[in-house]
Amino acid sequence: MVITSTIQTKNTVLMQEGTYAAVVKAIKPVKKVLQDGEKPPVEIEFAVAGAAEPMPRRYPQRLDGRSPLKREVQAILGRTLSVPEIASFDTDQLLNRNCQVVVVHQHNGGSKPKAVIKTVLAAPVVIPAAAASPAVTSTAATA
């Protein structure tokens, strides 16, 4: 008797740990059972350079104090949030913004490691070529 598996195995390669260029592609609330007065977590999906599919990162829906969402929203925007913005922030401002993400491997028990986003950083500052290598002029007198 021949027994065959009905499970399709994916031939995926684990993304290397490191810092990658990324773009914010989607922002949505996470569906879950909530306690009274609890806000659903928010999930931001990033299109990461080198990743086949968008990579999500979940946050508590808070922008106060030292919340991870506040820190990473400020990194994506490249500026500090004002008090009125913290009180009422429109997440659509983040869509299609460039940033960098730090990808690490997460090990859950006996399962295979998974590449996850550890943190979000500001997009790298691009220096124009002319500013990067300014023309050198000599001030020495010629005789």
Please answer whether residues 75 and 120 qualify as being in contact, where contact means their C-beta atoms are separated by less than 8 angstroms: yes
pLDDT at 124: 86
Tokens in use for 43? 């999930």
76, amino acid identity: I
Question: Residue 42 has what pLDDT?
Answer: 93
**How far apart are alpha carbons 15 and 18 in whole angstroms?**
9
Consecutive 10-residue runs of the chain (143 residues): their mean pLDDT?
Answer: 68 86 94 77 95 94 91 95 91 95 89 92 77 53 53
Instruction: Say what the pLDDT of residue 98 is.
Output: 96
Q: Which of 76, 90, 39, 31 is nearest to 61 (CA)?
A: 39
Quick one: 11 exposed, middle or buried, by C-beta within 10 A (0-12, 13-18, 19+)? exposed
Coil vs helix vs strand at 42: strand
> Which pLDDT score, from 0 to 100, does residue 131 have?
55
pLDDT given at position 10: 60
